[in-house]
Amino acid sequence: MGRVTGENGEPTVEQWERALGALLGAPARQADRVLDGGASLLAASAERWPAYGRGLLGLADRSLGSLWSRGWRPADLARLVRRDLSPVHQALLTDLVAAEARRHSPATLDRRWQEQLRELGAEAWWDGDERFLPGFAERHRLDRFALATAALELLALLARLPVITPVGPAPGGDHRVGHRAAGPLPGEPRMLSRIRALLAKAESTEYPQEAEALTAKAQQLMAQHSIDEALLAVGRPDAAAAPGALRIGVENPYEGPKAMLLDAVAAANRCRVVWAKEFSFCTVIGFDPDLDAVELLYTSLLVQATAAMQQAGSRQHLDGASRTRAFRQSFLVSYAARIRERLTEATERTTREAAAGRHLNDDGTAEQRLPDTRLLPALAAREEQVDSATERMFPKLTSQRVRVSDGEGWAAGRAAADRAALQPRRRLGRRG
C-alpha cells in the first residue's frame, strides 16, 4: 500500500495511530473527551476523508494480522463486538475483516476460516479504498464524526485483546495439521451429506415422532462415521490424524447451562470442552469428524431447549414476584444433564454394535460384518490423544458448578430433554 498523506503531509495511518494511542493511554475518566478529540480531528476535513479511509484500512490490516497470529479468528471478534458494542461497529468489523482477507489466497485459509468469512458476509463492496469511509457512511447514514468515533472504539477494543490459545493456523500457515483441507462443504464425505439431508427433513416436519426417527438415524450415522474414521486411522498415526479444535459461541443469558449442554454433546462424541466465559466462547478439542458432529448437534439441541423453555412460560412465587430466571436456569441445567445421559447411551450402543460387526452404511442400511478387534483400542487411543491435546493447549484448568434452585424447572427441563430429537441443525462458538 502506498503512503497516503493527510494534513501537513503526514501519512493517514499515523494519524489514526496517534488518535488510537491517545485513547488507549487515557485514564478512564478522560476517555470520552480523548475519544471525541481524536474523532473530531479525523473527521474535520471532507477533502481528506477519502484518504483517511485508506489509512484506516491499512491500520486495520496490521491490527487484524496481529490478532490472527495471537490466536483470534473472525467469528471470535464478531462475537465480542456484537456483545460489547453496536450493530454499526459489527458492520465495520465485517468490512475490515473483508479488506484484510484480500491479502490471502483462499488456499492459505483452512476450511473453518473460510466458513466464518462466509457466515459473516465478509466481502469488499467498495470500489477503491478511498471510497471506503464515504461509502460506509452513506450505507449506514452516519456523519464523519460518528463514523470516526465508531472506528476508534472498535480499534481500541481489538487492541486490548490478549493472546489466546489458537485453534488452527493463521492465514498463510500450514492448514493441513489437524484440520480438513480448505474448501467448501460439497467435498465432504457422503455420510455427512446424508446426515445433513436427514436433519433438514427432521427440522421441516411438523410431526415430532417423524422428527425423532429421522434424527435418531442421523445420530447413528454420526457415530458410525466417527467409528469409521477411527478405524481408518489405525496404522497411520500421521500429523493429519491429530486432534484439532474449534470455538463455539456460548453467550448470555444462561451461559453456564449452555456450556453444560455443549459439554454433554462433546463428551458423547469423544471431545473435550474448555469454557472461556470472559470471551463468550467454548473451545472444543477433538478429531475433525467429531468436531463437526458436536457443532451441528449442539446447535440443534440448543434451539430445541430454548423453544421448550419458552413454551414452559414464566413463573411467579406465591407473593407474585418473578422466579422466571431461576426456573429457566434450572430447566436448562436439567435439560443438559438428561441429554448427556441420552447421548451417552446412544454412543455406547452404536459402539457395541460396531464392535460386534454391525455396520451402518452411507445410505442408512445396515450390514453384518466380521467383528473388528481393532475398534475399541482405536477409540481408546483417540480419547487419550484428545485428552493429551487438551492438556497441552490448556495446562491450567478449573471446574465450575452450576446452581439449581428451582425444582419445577429441573423437572420440566428433564421432560423436555426426554422429548428432544437428537438432531443437529446447522452450524453455530472454559478456560480456567
> To 5 degrees, how large is the angle CA 190–CA 194–CA 198?
170
Residue 299 carries which side chain, given as an amino acid letter? T
Residue 320 backbone dihedrals phi, psi, to 5 degrees: 95, -10
Bridge partners, residue 5, by sequence = 11
Closest alpha carbon to 247 in 276, 268, 225, 278: 276
Looking at every residue in the chain, the average pLDDT score rounds to 82
pLDDT of 33-83, one tens digit each?
A: 999 999 999 999 999 999 999 999 999 999 999 999 999 999 999 999 999
State the residue for C-alpha cell 477411527. 230
Name which residue leads in pLDDT, 66 or 306: 66
The bridge status of strand 244-249 relative to strand 272-276 is unpaired
Name which residue leads in pLDDT, 415 or 116: 116
Q: Give the CB-side neighbour count of residue 368, counting CA atoms within 13 A.
A: 0
- 349 secondary structure, DSSP code: H
Q: What is the Cα–Cα distance from 160 to 77, expressed in whole angstroms?
A: 12
- If pLDDT is split at 50, 70 and 90, which confidence band does 365 have? confident
Q: What is the Cα–Cα distance from 133 to 39, expressed in whole angstroms?
A: 13
The Cβ of residue 148 has, within 10 Å, a number of other Cβ atoms equal to: 27
Cell numbers that stand for 20 in this block: 488510537
Q: Is the dihedral of CA 134, 139, 143, 145 positive or negative?
A: negative
Q: What is the Cα–Cα distance from 351 to 367, expressed in whole angstroms?
A: 15
Q: What is the DSSP string of 42-98?
A: HHS-TTTHHHHHHHHHHHHHHHHHHHHHTT--HHHHHHHHHHHS-HHHHHHHHHHHH
- If pLDDT is split at 50, 70 and 90, which confidence band does 226 have? confident
Res 400 pLDDT > 70: no
Q: Using an 8 Å Cβ cutoff, are 412 and 331 in contact?
A: yes
End-to-end CA distance of the chain: 41
Q: Using an 8 Å Cβ cutoff, are 261 and 301 in contact?
A: yes
- 106 secondary structure, DSSP code: G
Residue 380 carries which side chain, given as an amino acid letter? A
Closest alpha carbon to 222 in 282, 291, 300: 291
**What average pLDDT does range 316-338 have in this prediction?**
75
Res 107 pLDDT > 90: no
Q: What is the Cα–Cα distance from 46 to 40, expressed in whole angstroms?
A: 12
Cα 323 to chain centroid, rounded:
31
Q: What is the Cα–Cα distance from 111 to 86, expressed in whole angstroms?
A: 28
Please report, to the nearest 10 degrees, the dihedral formed by the alpha carbons of residues 228, 229, 234, 236 taken in order.
150
- If pLDDT is split at 50, 70 and 90, which confidence band does 323 have? low
Cell numbers that stand for 171 in this block: 492465514
Show Cβ contacts of residue 2 under 8 Å, excluding neighbours closer than 6 positions: none
